[in-house]
Structure formats: structure tokens, C-alpha cells
Amino acid sequence: MNTSVLSKEKDPMGTAIYDYFEHQESSKLKVFSSQFDEDEIPVKTLFRSFSQMPILEKEALKMASGKILDVGGGSGCHSLALQEMGKEVRAIDISPLSVETMKARGVKQADLINLFDPTFTDKFDTILLLMNGSGIIGKLENMADFFIKMKQLLHPNGSIILDSSDLKYLFEDEDGSFLIDIAGDYYGEVDFHMEYKEVKGDDFDWLYIDFQTLSLYASEYGFATELIREGKHYDYLARITQK
């Protein structure tokens, strides 16, 4: 498991966030993957307010309670909304420019920390992973490391709230059947790299996971998974608690 943080020279998303915050506009944040066509993240959407958030995220923020950890805070959109609700939140991110932006925007506790850093041992009641939050797990083979870390960071009655998507729709045939190579890697394991202006990031693994597979792994590591709500397009919000 990678436990380091990014350097500013390899932080395209952070540079885009910083640029947008400073100038209220930005260039294209390009996303490349060996599995998909080139895509783009509209940087403005990373600055969404509570009212602009998808319903699954609104639900997640309403449910979050006690001491909250916002994992991969980005521009701080979720942390700021939680602070406005009067909740206590700490944001962490591996992107130095995102952390700088979060602080400048008023996130009271924002730190440059990798979730998997062994020296990060604070305790929380709610751990939030949003915007395909399961992505940070990277690959299915990292599930053990992920749940071990969650156990360390959670108070006994605490919960993880995350959103993800079942990518099976990408493999759907015209007749409604699914063409998935079950002998191959899990279909939700994706590799990406991003580019913004002249800043090019390294490749990283990003995990999209269907609810059933998530529940099976969670159960193996002593957690129970609850489907809170489904979105419009194979996306869902789940709450995971210790059994």
C-alpha cells in the first residue's frame, strides 16, 4: 500500500483546484486510463456547494456524526458543508495544493496525510469517503489493509460512509447481457493518471466496487454493510460498521 503524499510537481488535481480557487477559472483537468477514452473533470464541480451535491452525498453528510474524517478532502467541499452544519470534521489529502486550498477556504482541520500512513492513528466516529470514495482502496487485494486501517481509526460504534458505482454497465451488450471476463481482474479495478497544464501525475489504481462484492469483503474483515440509497446510474451509498 502506498503511504506517501504527492509533490507539487506531480499534483495535477491539486494544481487545478488551487488555480480555480485563485482565479475562479481553470484549464482542463484531463483524465487518462488504459481502459477508457480520455476524459475531463470539470474543476468547478470539485467546488460544489451542499445544494449542488448529488443526493447520495447530501445523505452522507446528513448521516455523518461525532468526530468526522473526510478522506481525500479535495477542495474541501464536504468539510465546509459539514462545518456549516455545526459538525466537527478533519480533512486529510495527499495533495499539497488541495490541503493549502482547503485551509485558505476555511477548513479548520486540514492535513497533508495519506490515509494509509501508519503514523496516522487518530480516532473517529464517522469516516467519509466520497466521490467514488472506494477508489482510494485501489485494488481488491488491498481490502485487508483498508479494513485494518479502518479498525484502527474507528471508535467501536463508528461507521464508514462511502459511495461507489458498479461498472458492470460498461460491459452490457445490446441484448442486456453482460460480457465480463470472470477469469480476468475484477472489472472495477481501473488505472488512471491526470494532467493539468504542464503538470503530469503518476499512474494510480482506483477501485469501483459493486455493493455485493463490498459487502462480502467487509464481512470477511468483521464489518457489516448496509445499502443506504441507490443513485440513478449504478451508484450507491453504503454504511459499513464493525460487527
DSSP-derived secondary structure for 208-227: ---HHHHHHHHHHTTEEEEE
In the complex with ligand SAH, the residue whose CB is nearer, 127 or 131, is 131
Helix (H) or strand (E) holding 184: none
Nearest approach in angstroms of CB 70 to ligand SAH is 7
Under the rule (CB under 6 A), what is the footprint of ligand SAH? 13, 46, 71-74, 77-78, 92-95, 98, 114-116, 130-131, 136
In the complex with ligand SAH, the residue whose CB is nearer, 42 or 222, is 42
Nearest Cα neighbor of 53 from 231, 185, 238, 181 is: 231
In the complex with ligand SAH, the residue whose CB is nearer, 73 or 158, is 73
In the complex with ligand SAH, the residue whose CB is nearer, 180 or 231, is 231
Contact predicate 122/202, CB 8 Å: no
Nearest approach in angstroms of CB 243 to ligand SAH is 25
Grid coordinates representing 7?
509533490
Nearest approach in angstroms of CB 2 to ligand SAH is 7
Using DSSP, state whether 9 is helix, strand or coil. helix
What's the length of the chain?
A: 243
**In the chain, what are the helix, strand and coil shares in percent, each to the nearest 5?**
35, 30, 35
Nearest approach in angstroms of CB 210 to ligand SAH is 20
Nearest approach in angstroms of CB 23 to ligand SAH is 19
Contact predicate 134/108, CB 8 Å: no
Neighbours of 220 (CB within 10 A): 11
In the complex with ligand SAH, the residue whose CB is nearer, 40 or 173, is 40
Grid coordinates representing 138?
485501489
Nearest approach in angstroms of CB 177 to ligand SAH is 33
Alpha carbon 30 to its chain centroid, in Å, reads 18
Contact predicate 160/240, CB 8 Å: yes
Q: Which residue is nearest to ligand SAH (CB)?
A: 72
Nearest approach in angstroms of CB 152 to ligand SAH is 14
DSSP-derived secondary structure for 98-152: HHHHHHHHT-SSEEE--TT-TT----EEEEEETTTGGGGG-SGGGHHHHHHHHHH
